[in-house]
Amino acid sequence: MDEVIQKQTNVQYRIQILSAIKRYYEYLVMTGARKDHPSKKLNIKNKANQDIQLQDLFSSEELQLLLQGENSYWFLETRNNVLLSLLIYQGLTSDEITNLELKNIDLENGTIYIKASKTLNRRTLELLNKQILPLSKYIDEVRPKMLRCKSDKLILKKLGKPISVDGIHSVTESLKSLFPDRKLNPQTIRMSVICNWLNEKKYDLVKVQELVGHK
């Protein structure tokens, strides 16, 4: 790193190199060439840097564990299942979830419409079969009982009003005990979903760009 900084002072450059080195040692451990991972706990300190380390993201199997959390209130189980499934299957942002309305869900065709924002494109995404039943139950049974004001917003908070970005963060915050040594929030979930689409499902870059709405 001392040699690198002489050529390039940008801290992001060093972070990318260290990330690549970590991936290389992970490969050596996976293939049996080494038993230890000497760079696993190394990080580049940068107070201004908020980037997520790629090796700290979550696999598809790990994301599935988020759907198994227990809730104190019966109606939150279905709501949280719907909310978390939109994070881990469609890779939506917190803002996109707060802006979802009932009319954006088409259960008959199994799709969800995402509105455009200043930074992301509008798009229509497919729902997984496993999402249809919880969504139907939430929309037809749970949401009407939760509702305490006139609103077409899809996701409600515990007190029956439209959920906020902070409310979504609170839901993921309550699940941090599953991964105490990693950052678990809507942003890291979305980044994990993007990486898993590329690396596990082998989607091409253009398809992933369309799925996540990147301009």
pTM: 0.74
Q: What is the pLDDT of residues 25-77, one digit of tens each?
A: 988 988 999 999 998 888 877 655 556 667 779 999 999 999 887 665 667 88
Which 3 state secondary structure label does DSSP give 152?
A: coil
Q: Does residue 88 have a pLDDT over 80?
A: yes
SS3 140: helix
pLDDT for residue 200: 93
Give all domains of the chain, ordered by start, each with its CATH number: 2-52 (no CATH), 57-212 (1.10.443.10)
Cα 153 to Cα 11, 98, 104: the distances in Å are: 41, 7, 10
Neighbours of 40 (CB within 10 A): 11
